[in-house]
Chain A
Amino acid sequence: MIALEVKNLTKRFDKILAVDDVSFEVPEGSIFGLIGRNGAGKTTTIRMMMNIYLPDKGEVTLRGSRVGQEFKNRVGYLPEERGLYKKMKVLDTLLYFAEIKGKSGKEVEKKAVEYLKRFELYDRRMSKIEDLSKGNQQKIQFITTVLHDPDFIILDEPFAGLDPINTNLLKEIILEMKEKGKVIIFSTHLIDYAEKMCDHLAMIDHGKIILKGALIDIKSKFAQRNVSLTYEGDISFLHNNHIVEKINNFGNTTGIRVKEPQYAQQLLRLLVDNNVQVKQFNANDISLYEIFIELAGREDGKEAANVQ
């Protein structure tokens, strides 16, 4: 079942074509990743999904009907650049954000208090936002995203700028929401995060979708003839070997593409014979990052590889 369908979205700013004929489908109950480099068009796509920007062309449909205010009410949105009213009190902030989503009254207030207690911020409920630490402000921002009990959660670069504690907290929230059957859509340039968390994805580069589908399908399609290797020692002898097509070094792991599927066993033997200590050898496995590099080329991809 498709929950949200993005059809032929196009957006141009002056001379820049920010989003170029983008289409993808977000299934019900999925964690969907929109992956691409900085400036690839992720935020613009999300803003069009949220009806913040009007697309030049194309549309976004929610279970068959065009998204509008009703969708906005059912969405929890955490933009990449986050912000709160500095002078507003914590509890007032939470209630205000719920109110503009159409939820107000005792029920919401009770939930707000529950969240504050859970995040150990209950005693700060009357403090002004500006008096909170940055980490605590981030927590408040998470609560505003989910307090109105949205069916959809859209997170734009959710892990950017979070401290490790809040990173885990956010992951916890995301998984909890998934268990409740909510649809979670997030964009990220951190491909490793996406690989660990999402089950469906779309890759966007220079405003165009270069790959989309279920993570498993994508991986199995690209994983043939591929070996993901963790080792100690010297493997430079492989560079001129006739069975190897390509070697990609990603720091901790190395991706090796062999010329024929049956060469994988030979490769392992070769490594052992050459006294390379093999710690991990996954035949027919490929990281999402390798796929991304293969499709989008290297460019500034190195940066993404090193962020773990």
Chain B
Amino acid sequence: MFNKRVMAVFKREVKERVISKGFIYMTILLPVFMFGIVGIQTYLYTEQSTKYNLIVISETQDLTSRIQDDILSSDLIKENYAFRFYTMSKEQLNNFLNENKKELLDEKITGVIYLPASALNDKKIEYYSKTPHNLKLSEKLSGHINKVLVDAYFNNKQLSQDELNFARQAVNFSGLKVTKEAGFEEEGYGSLVLSYLFTFLLYMSLLMMGQMILQSVIEEKTSKIVEVILSSVSSKELMTGKILGSAATGTLQMIIWLSPVVLVASTTLFALPPDITINVTTIQIVYLIVNFFFGLMIFLGLFATVGSIFDNSQDAQSGLWPVMILIIIPFFIAFSMIQNPNSAIGNAASLFPLANIIVMPARMVIVDVPLWQLFLTILINIATFFAIFPVAGKIYRVGILRTGKKPSWAEVVKWLKYRY
């Protein structure tokens, strides 16, 4: 099966793909784009440049001194926050707001936080600002204010300091991953991020490489070059060379895409916040790439077959739905599994032929998957390939030399009986 002719086709295929603009753009731009989005989010989130000039007004002297003590002793002062503290009644506040309207509108004063005495009953406080819905600000301050209110509320009730501390504390979820090894690993969001990343990359690559081979088969068919080639190589050799070439290219692309992940996971060059550290082993990455290679070969075989049936891209796209379903459904299963890692469908799909290419990598980083299951999926994919290839090859062989009327599915099934 692997001879000089297959090698020649393989080489041409790789060369054509790898130096194509589409490949270069996608390979470089996709990670840049993804990291860019993450980066922009992080940047916006931690943005330091805006100066917050806040005025905290309490209705009672007691609240004022408490909030002043708490905030001034916190880290907020080190950041770009400036505070002024006053005690005022509701009416005084209204006057104050009217007097300082200009500053508020010019954002010289970012906002005024009003803690009425009633807040000790209902924890309702008021925030006056040109832009009152500032999530970041409320997130930063609500903890402090809550603490002050809790302290003030319980102050004249007979409670021990321990009880107070408990009441003050917000709920803290620690995700602990159960693994085979002794002990539990504390786990952050890194696994979820990785799971999404794998799902997305695998999905993108399957679609992209699939479309590429589809177009390439249609081009060979419509430009009539296929007959010249078939006078030298057999259709099986041509198909093998094309699939191997595209699969190698896709795998190369996947390796390039995953190398930042490996770099982040295995070195300390990039300091990530502790709750998004990523935890992935070399075996898992190697598995992902190997399994992807075999899975990609199956899908490329299917895409090439669809391409061979049709004369033009439009017809081919409309005839592509059975293959698309095989990619899109696992994609959604993988996503749903990230939300519920123990779903039965997810577990089944992670072993199912074709579906496992996307689902298993997403699953293995959030659930502890035994190694034998990983090897099993590779074997399943290889077996699937050898089961599908003869049938696909037969349709391909008939299809590539056929032109004219768009064939029906029934006709395509009939091709299988042809002696070509």
B228 x A144 contact (CB < 8 A):
yes
The contact string, 1 if C-beta is below 8 Å from chain A, for chain B 209-230, is 0000000000110011111111
Bound together, the chains give a CA A219 to CA B10 distance in angstroms of 51
Given contacts A75-B231, A79-B228, A82-B228, contact A54 B420 (CB under 8 A): yes
What chain B residues lie within 8 Å of A97 (beta carbons)?
A: 228, 232
Residue B309 lies at the interface, judged by CB distance under 8 Å to chain A = no
Residue B9 lies at the interface, judged by CB distance under 8 Å to chain A = yes
What chain A residues lie within 8 Å of B233 (beta carbons)?
A: 72, 100
A100 x B419 contact (CB < 8 A):
no
Residue B12 lies at the interface, judged by CB distance under 8 Å to chain A = yes
The contact string, 1 if C-beta is below 8 Å from chain B, for chain A 91-106, is 0000011011110100
Contact of B231 among A52, A56, A96, A102 (CB under 8 A): A52
Residue A197 lies at the interface, judged by CB distance under 8 Å to chain B = no
Residue B29 lies at the interface, judged by CB distance under 8 Å to chain A = no
- Interface core residue of A52, A73, A77 (most chain B CB under 10 Å): A52
Main SS of the interface on chain B? helix
The contact string, 1 if C-beta is below 8 Å from chain B, for chain A 42-65, is 000001001111101000000000
Closest to B414 in A: A14
B8 x A99 contact (CB < 8 A):
yes
What chain B residues lie within 8 Å of A87 (beta carbons)?
A: 16
A83 x B9 contact (CB < 8 A):
no
Give residues 363-420 of B contacting A (CB, 8 Å): 401, 414, 419-420
What chain A residues lie within 8 Å of B227 (beta carbons)?
A: 47, 52, 79, 81, 83
Closest to A145 in B: B228
Residue B133 lies at the interface, judged by CB distance under 8 Å to chain A = no
B228 x A96 contact (CB < 8 A):
no
Bound together, the chains give a CA A14 to CA B231 distance in angstroms of 24
Residue B5 lies at the interface, judged by CB distance under 8 Å to chain A = yes
B224 x A81 contact (CB < 8 A):
yes
Bound together, the chains give a CA A52 to CA B220 distance in angstroms of 15
Given contacts A81-B224, A83-B224, A83-B225, contact A53 B420 (CB under 8 A): yes
Given contacts A54-B419, A56-B419, A87-B16, contact A100 B229 (CB under 8 A): yes
Give residues 334-355 of B contacting A (CB, 8 Å): none
Bound together, the chains give a CA A101 to CA B401 distance in angstroms of 20
In the assembled complex, how far is the CB of residue A92 from the closest CB belonging to chain B, in whole angstroms? 8
Residue B4 lies at the interface, judged by CB distance under 8 Å to chain A = yes
In the assembled complex, how far is the CB of residue B216 from the closest CB belonging to chain A, in whole angstroms? 9
Residue A291 lies at the interface, judged by CB distance under 8 Å to chain B = no
Given contacts A54-B419, A56-B419, A86-B223, contact A102 B228 (CB under 8 A): no
What chain B residues lie within 8 Å of A50 (beta carbons)?
A: 230-231
Contact of A102 among B5, B9, B219, B220 (CB under 8 A): B5
Given contacts A84-B223, A85-B223, A87-B16, contact A77 B420 (CB under 8 A): no
Across the A-B interface, the 10 shortest Cβ-Cβ residue pairs: A77-B231, A83-B225, A83-B224, A81-B224, A83-B223, A100-B232, A99-B8, A79-B227, A52-B230, A100-B8
Chosen A-B contacts, 19 in total, with CB atoms closer than 8 Å, are: A14-B414, A47-B401, A52-B401, A72-B231, A72-B233, A77-B228, A78-B228, A79-B224, A83-B223, A83-B225, A83-B226, A85-B16, A97-B228, A99-B8, A100-B5, A100-B229, A100-B232, A102-B4, A102-B5
Q: Kindly list 8 other residue pairs between chains A and B, CB separation below 8 angstroms, not including A86-B219, A99-B4, A100-B9.
A: A50-B230, A52-B227, A52-B231, A53-B401, A73-B232, A81-B224, A81-B227, A85-B223
